[in-house]
Amino acid sequence: MSTLSEESLSPLILQWLEWDQDPTTRAEIENLRDSNSVEELGQRLQQRIQFGTAGLRGRMAAGFSCMNSLTVIQASQGLAKYIRNYHSDVASNGVVIGHDARHNSGKFASLAANAFIAQRIPVWFYGQPAITPTVPFGVTHLHAAAGIMITASHNGAQINTPMDAEIAQSIEENLAPWPDAWKDTQASEYFRTDAYQRILPRYKEAVWQYAKSTVSEWKPPRPFIYTPLHGVGGLVFPELCRSVGINNIITVAEQAEPNPDFPTVTFPNPEETGSLDLTMKTADKEGITLIVAHDPDADRLAVAEKVDGSWFTYSGNHIGVLIASHLFESLDNGSRTAVLGSTVSTGMLEKMAVAKGIHFEEALTGFKWMANIAQNLEGEGYKVPFAFEEALGYMLPDVCYDKDGVTAAMVFLAAEAKWRAQGLTAFAKLQSLFSEFGHHETLNTYFRSPSPELTMTLFRGIRGGSFKATKSLGKFSILRWRDMTEGYDSGTADNKPTLPVDKGSQMLTLWLDRDVRFTFRASGTEPKVKIYIESCCASREQAVSAVCDTFQAVLEEWVRPFAPSMTYSKQLVTSSGHISTLQ
């Protein structure tokens, strides 16, 4: 029986209606109140949306627990006060604020700007839909104190602990909207509306100069089909291509313009099965065998290629090692160089780096880690040309400290033209890398968890008893355990991980025989427990077998005993497209 009542919620409802001046979200709360939707009101109002190292993230709806005009204002006021109070030396450099073309993005960006203007912190405002990489690029170029991007992703050389807690505290101290919080922003000394017109040309020039620097002679790529998946990439990338002589780009007409309803795709994520179906249909109609795609804010890159009559969609790991191999060939062998990969990305990058005498460093998932590590390494005298994670994210720090789908696409096209001159397709180049470093097969999937409590039960069960002494999992011998929650690593001299421990997350990595490594972690944003498996074997068939056997072992020995109600896909699709059906 519910312990909530309309009476207990009444102060929260009154507080919301006192502060919120957005008619849409006010009406949502009023309608829920009038219909006595006590449970829904409790979910909306009793908890606050949390500000963390990735900023603010949640579903768009009315209520303190969601993304909406009021919670954006509150977070912006807290951040503005934090900068003014703790970083006053750089406050006058201003903040860069951008937004994509999703619903409410422009409105949220304008409301965020008011908070900084109120603190006399200049705002470099992107007044039109922008691609995400231009915000971190703008922060660096303008020496700004901070950057804010209104989008569905979380990006960049973001804040790390303890700064996130300090900003969260500042938000709590500045919840009531300030006098001008809801006003329409006007151009002024503190509101600079021409920022995007200034930054975008410089960004595009930086992208072009960097891509060109990776080859001895620039050649245009073969014809390709491009899709921005109804996002902002279509406002920038085709024009950039044509400005540098790449005229054989055809954009998918139905997806060329930004549309926040994404009418032609079920889910606007190039990682999702089916997201490139219309692009492939267009390519087949045009007789073109290469596809380049961006996600809707253009910070991620996807590539597909026709191979032996069928479409092969490259995984993020494939694209990552292809770009890395291209960059390695252009490096000055005399320089100290370092590259980065995330804990759940392919181990192939490290093997390639070691073979070239390049320093490799592992980072936790997310570009907040990789961007900050890259800057620290540069402070130690390293050149850091590249970092990537398997979720189609690639960072080229010469352009910006963030995942950047536009720069990655231009570099990939430069590489494709170089390989073609050598008689190779991108797919053939990938196979040659497998021949040199072993066939790396990955299987990334997830279990859907009904509740956070069940997720915790699962991880407690795995850790139960003498798990650190466990020597086998299914058909495999366990060579090494790493627990990033408990701070344990059997592979280090002091049994402590070299990466930052996070007791608020759940993450295990195991190294097995047959050159298998897998990470099992609870998602911080979705009701999922994700698993990332990789095997390196002499042949594709052996590697496919190893990753499928690993998943089966995790299912039988971890999930079914400790969380039998968790659901999972009955079909496993590996990175080479192999499909295995589970019983």
Per-residue pLDDT of 369-401, as tens digits, reads: 999 999 999 999 999 999 999 999 999 999 999
CA-to-CA separations, 155 to 150, 423, 559, in angstroms, rounded: 11, 37, 32
CA 118 – CA 137 distance, rounded (Å): 25
Q: 471 is written with which tokens?
A: 């020597």
CA-to-CA separations, 552 to 457, 548, 570, in angstroms, rounded: 20, 6, 11
Per-residue pLDDT of 267-314, as tens digits, reads: 899 998 899 999 999 999 999 999 999 999 999 999 999 999 999 999
Largest Cα–Cα distance in the chain?
74
Query: What backbone phi and psi angles, to 5 degrees, belong to 291?
Result: -125, 135
pLDDT for 1 equals 34
Q: How confident is the model at residue 7 (pLDDT cuts 50, 70, 90)?
A: confident
Question: 428 pairs with which residues across the strands?
Answer: none
Q: How confident is the model at residue 99 (pLDDT cuts 50, 70, 90)?
A: very high
Q: Look at the chain and report how many structural domains it folds into.
A: 4
Per-residue pLDDT of 477-507, as tens digits, reads: 999 999 999 999 999 999 999 999 988 889 9
The answer on 160 and 106 residing in a single domain is: yes
Q: What torsion do the CA atoms of 366, 368, 370, 372 make, to the nearest 10 degrees?
A: -170
Catalytic residue among 69, 110, 153, 170, which? 153
CA 137 – CA 98 distance, rounded (Å): 11
Q: 521 is written with which tokens?
A: 């972690």
The answer on 407 and 274 residing in a single domain is: yes
Residue 46: burial class (beta carbons within 10 Å; 0-12, 13-18, 19+) = middle
Contact 306, 289 (CB under 8 A): yes
The answer on 538 and 414 residing in a single domain is: no
pLDDT for 365 equals 87
CA 546 – CA 561 distance, rounded (Å): 22
Residue 187: burial class (beta carbons within 10 Å; 0-12, 13-18, 19+) = exposed
Task: Report the 3 state secondary structure along 380-435.
Answer: CCCEEEEEEECCCEEECCCCCCCECHHHHHHHHHHHHHHHHHCCCCHHHHHHHHHH
CA 42 – CA 13 distance, rounded (Å): 10
Contact 312, 116 (CB under 8 A): no
pLDDT for 513 equals 94
Q: How confident is the model at residue 35 (pLDDT cuts 50, 70, 90)?
A: very high
The answer on 258 and 398 residing in a single domain is: yes
Strand 393-395's sheet: what is its strand order? 359-363, 337-342, 383-389, 393-395
The answer on 215 and 188 residing in a single domain is: no
CA 485 – CA 460 distance, rounded (Å): 11
CA 137 – CA 401 distance, rounded (Å): 7
The answer on 456 and 322 residing in a single domain is: no
CA 462 – CA 522 distance, rounded (Å): 13
Q: How confident is the model at residue 151 (pLDDT cuts 50, 70, 90)?
A: confident
The answer on 275 and 354 residing in a single domain is: yes
The answer on 446 and 544 residing in a single domain is: yes
CA 234 – CA 240 distance, rounded (Å): 10
Domain of 33?
A: 1-43
- Looking at residue 109, which CATH number applies to its domain? 3.40.120.10
Helix, strand counts (H, E) of the chain: 19, 25
Contact 555, 582 (CB under 8 A): yes
2-11, 161-170, 400-409, 497-506: least confident range: 2-11
Domain edge (last residue) among 414, 437, 460: 437
The answer on 27 and 119 residing in a single domain is: no
Per-residue pLDDT of 38-91, as tens digits, reads: 999 999 999 888 776 556 778 899 999 999 999 999 999 999 999 999 999 999
Q: How confident is the model at residue 155 (pLDDT cuts 50, 70, 90)?
A: very low
CA 175 – CA 204 distance, rounded (Å): 39
Amino acid letter, 15: Q
The answer on 205 and 139 residing in a single domain is: no
The answer on 248 and 304 residing in a single domain is: yes
Q: Give exposure, 341-376, as e/b (b: 16+ Cβ within 10 Å).
A: bbbbbbbbbbbbbeebebbbbbbbbbbbbbbbbbee
Q: 423 is written with which tokens?
A: 């008689």
Q: What torsion do the CA atoms of 479, 484, 487, 491 make, to the nearest 10 degrees?
A: 20
- Looking at residue 572, which CATH number applies to its domain? 3.30.310.50
**More reliable by pLDDT, 368 or 235:** 235
Q: What is the DSSP letter of 253?
A: G
Q: How confident is the model at residue 154 (pLDDT cuts 50, 70, 90)?
A: low
The answer on 304 and 251 residing in a single domain is: yes
pLDDT for 334 equals 64
Q: How confident is the model at residue 165 (pLDDT cuts 50, 70, 90)?
A: confident
Per the annotation, the verdict on 153 as an active-site residue is: yes
CA-to-CA separations, 372 to 259, 340, 384, 443, 508, in angstroms, rounded: 33, 11, 11, 28, 23
Task: Give the pLDDT mean for 147-160.
Answer: 71
CA 228 – CA 270 distance, rounded (Å): 10
pLDDT for 466 equals 77
Domain edge (last residue) among 160, 193, 226: 193
Domain edge (last residue) among 193, 225, 241: 193
pLDDT for 158 equals 57
Contact 44, 58 (CB under 8 A): no
Q: What is the DSSP letter of 559?
A: I
Measure the N-to-C terminal CA separation of the chain; round to a whole number of Å. 39
Q: 491 is written with which tokens?
A: 């592979």
